[in-house]
């Protein structure tokens, strides 16, 4: 019997058990260990919350991840059922029978399996273990190992924790919806009940209005976070949060009021950015940076791969600085949308394209007032961006002849699959006023472009407008 057949039989057995949920719950102590993963998947996707709670209590592996699973039930209801099933285990020999769950991961992750491959060690190995918090299993185990290596205590008298440390991994979005507030209250209550034994590890934190969530932010261990998004806050609040993070990979800031830019505060903000040595993605939107971008680029790591700067009031000087920066040759994703960077000259952006040509995969320059003459001048540099996969330049005043010329220049870029283009100006009675758009003319434009793509044998390219 091959492996695929075995998996199918296990899945069928799991679904059969769920037909009689009370009996299945009663039999959890008796069913084979190999049946737990398919049974969990079936229970999760079927929304069997009582079964999920019971399974978490007796889970026979060291970690449990929801990974790519989806549920037909309320997402928060399902997570609460699993959290409610968590029980802090007494300190025990790892080879003993019974529940072994030490890491419960409630994050959605398409690349994550339900359990990690087990290796021959007493340490609860997991590819997604918390690495940085002093309350993580890793740090606690390291501290205990240090005590043993120093010869403090002996096998008979060495103090041992009465309970096994556990980690609860969850992404958190702090918004003002009632259901979110209820979930966060439930989450905090569970952690407080098991204070010192249950570590809440949040890797991805989204905050909408810092001022409304100060109590929960004091509760969280921000040292765990690697993706942070803050919307609607003053700069001082942002600085206070950044002072508590250490290992950020991604930082997104939006709607930071201009009035908060006082000289000392902006300098403090830059000092916080300088500490983020692992930063790979930086997004600043509605963040006025006119003639200030050089200060930001001076402090962020040279290995930065993603840079989003929409609505930042950038000047052509800022584009020049970006083209000369250490980050330019490594950028894979760049958004300069909604900045009037072409109002004076285009040469700084042309130079920038030449610098990023060997790395750039995703480019957004929507609503930048790119004209026919500017786009025509940029075509040679753009056609050398051989790794480009996505290009978006909607809401720019471009005519049909130049749009067709652009298509001819871009079809040789074999990695380019998605292009969002502006509706040509002749399709409007008054350019960029949606109510004056002539849909028949737009349909004719689309038909011409599709015919050109077919003639260039690039039917794999998707050209679309924001008006579709």
Closest by Cα among 303, 305, 308, 280 to 293: 308
Structure tokens at 375: 């786009």
> What is the spatial distance between Cα 387 and Cα 389, in angstroms, rounded to a whole number?
6
- The SS3 call for residue 123 is coil
Angle (CA) 114 120 121, round 5°: 95
How many other C-beta atoms lie within 10 A of the C-beta of residue 189?
10
pLDDT digits over 331-354, tens only?
A: 999 999 999 998 778 999 999 999
Write down the pLDDT at residue 145. 59
pLDDT digits over 434-455, tens only?
A: 778 999 999 999 999 999 999 9
Confidence band, pLDDT 50/70/90 cuts, at residue 12 = confident
Indicate the average pLDDT of the chain.
87
Closest by Cα among 406, 391, 411, 402 to 459: 411
Burial 213-240 (b: 16+ CB within 10 A, else e): beebbeebbbbbbbbbbbbbbebebbbe
pLDDT digits over 404-421, tens only?
A: 999 999 999 999 999 999
- Determine the distance from the C-alpha atom of residue 391 to the mean position of all C-alpha atoms in its chain, rounded to a whole number: 21
Write down the pLDDT at residue 311. 95
How many other C-beta atoms lie within 10 A of the C-beta of residue 18?
14
Beta bridge pairs of residue 205:
172, 228
| Residue 407, CB-side half-sphere exposure with 13 Å CA sphere | 28
Q: What DSSP assignment string belongs to 18-67?
A: HTTHHHHHHTTTTS-GGGHHHHHHHHHHTT-HHHHHHHHHT--SSEEEEE
> What is the spatial distance between Cα 419 and Cα 437, in angstroms, rounded to a whole number?
20
| pTM (two decimals) | 0.87
Residue 370 has pLDDT above 70, yes or no: yes
88 or 396: whose pLDDT is higher? Answer: 396
> What is the spatial distance between Cα 280 and Cα 251, in angstroms, rounded to a whole number?
9
Structure tokens at 118: 């087990």
- The SS3 call for residue 379 is helix
The enclosing H or E element of 280 equals none
Burial 37-46 (b: 16+ CB within 10 A, else e): bbbbbbbbeb
Residue 130 has pLDDT above 90, yes or no: no
Which residue is it, tokens 């753009």? 382
> What is the spatial distance between Cα 260 and Cα 252, in angstroms, rounded to a whole number?
17
pLDDT digits over 55-78, tens only?
A: 999 999 989 999 988 876 688 999
How many other C-beta atoms lie within 10 A of the C-beta of residue 431?
15
How many other C-beta atoms lie within 10 A of the C-beta of residue 58?
17
Structure tokens at 224: 């765990």
- The SS3 call for residue 418 is strand
- Helix-helix angle 316-323:347-356, to 10 degrees: 30
pLDDT digits over 184-243, tens only?
A: 999 999 988 888 788 899 999 999 988 888 888 888 889 899 999 999 998 889 999 999
> What is the spatial distance between Cα 236 and Cα 288, in angstroms, rounded to a whole number?
15
> What is the spatial distance between Cα 366 and Cα 61, in angstroms, rounded to a whole number?
49
> What is the spatial distance between Cα 192 and Cα 197, in angstroms, rounded to a whole number?
10
């Amino acid at each position: 019997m091959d492996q695929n057949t075995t998996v199918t039989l296990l899945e069928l057995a799991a679904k059969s058990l769920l037909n009689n949920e009370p009996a299945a719950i009663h039999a959890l102590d008796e069913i084979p260990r190999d049946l737990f993963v398919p049974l969990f998947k079936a229970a999760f996707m079927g929304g069997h919350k009582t079964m999920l709670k019971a399974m978490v209590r007796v889970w026979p592996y060291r970690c449990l991840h929801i990974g790519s699973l989806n549920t037909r039930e309320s997402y928060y209801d399902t997570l609460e059922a699993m959290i409610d099933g968590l029980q802090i285990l007494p300190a025990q020999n790892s080879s003993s029978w019974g529940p072994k769950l030490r890491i419960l991961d409630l994050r959605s992750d398409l690349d994550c399996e339900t359990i990690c491959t087990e290796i021959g060690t007493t340490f609860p190995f997991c590819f997604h273990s918390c690495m940085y918090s002093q309350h993580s299993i890793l740090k606690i185990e390291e501290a205990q190992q240090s005590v043993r290596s120093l010869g403090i205590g002996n096998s008979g008298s060495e103090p041992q924790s009465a309970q096994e440390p556990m980690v609860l991994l969850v992404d958190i979005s702090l918004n003002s919806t009632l259901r979110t507030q209820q979930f966060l209250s439930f989450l905090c209550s569970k952690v407080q009940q098991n204070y010192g034994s249950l570590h809440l590890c949040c890797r991805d934190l989204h905050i909408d209005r810092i001022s409304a969530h100060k109590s929960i932010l004091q509760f969280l261990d921000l040292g765990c976070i690697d993706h942070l998004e803050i919307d609607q806050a003053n700069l001082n609040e942002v600085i206070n949060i950044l002072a508590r993070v250490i290992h950020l990979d991604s930082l997104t800031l939006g709607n930071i009021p201009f009035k908060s830019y006082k000289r000392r505060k902006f300098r403090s903000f830059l000092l916080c950015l300088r500490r983020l040595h692992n930063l790979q993605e930086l997004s600043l939107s509605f963040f006025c940076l006119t003639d200030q971008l050089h200060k930001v680029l001076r402090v962020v790591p040279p290995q930065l791969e993603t840079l989003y700067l929409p609505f930042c009031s950038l000047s052509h000087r800022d584009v020049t600085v970006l083209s000369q920066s250490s980050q330019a040759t490594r950028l894979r994703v760049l958004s300069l949308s909604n900045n009037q960077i072409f109002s004076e000259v285009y040469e700084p952006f042309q130079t920038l394209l030449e610098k990023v040509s060997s790395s750039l995969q995703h480019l957004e320059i929507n609503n930048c007032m790119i004209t026919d003459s500017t786009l025509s001048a940029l075509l040679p540099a753009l056609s050398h961006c051989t790794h480009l996969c996505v290009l978006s330049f909607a809401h720019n005043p471009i005519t049909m002849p130049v749009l067709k010329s652009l298509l001819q220049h871009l079809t040789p870029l074999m990695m380019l699959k998605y292009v969002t283009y502006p509706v040509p100006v002749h399709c409007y009675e008054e350019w960029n006023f949606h109510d004056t758009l002539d849909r028949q003319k737009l349909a004719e434009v689309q038909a011409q472009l599709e015919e050109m793509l077919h003639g260039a044998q690039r039917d794999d390219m998707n050209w679309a407008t924001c008006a579709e």
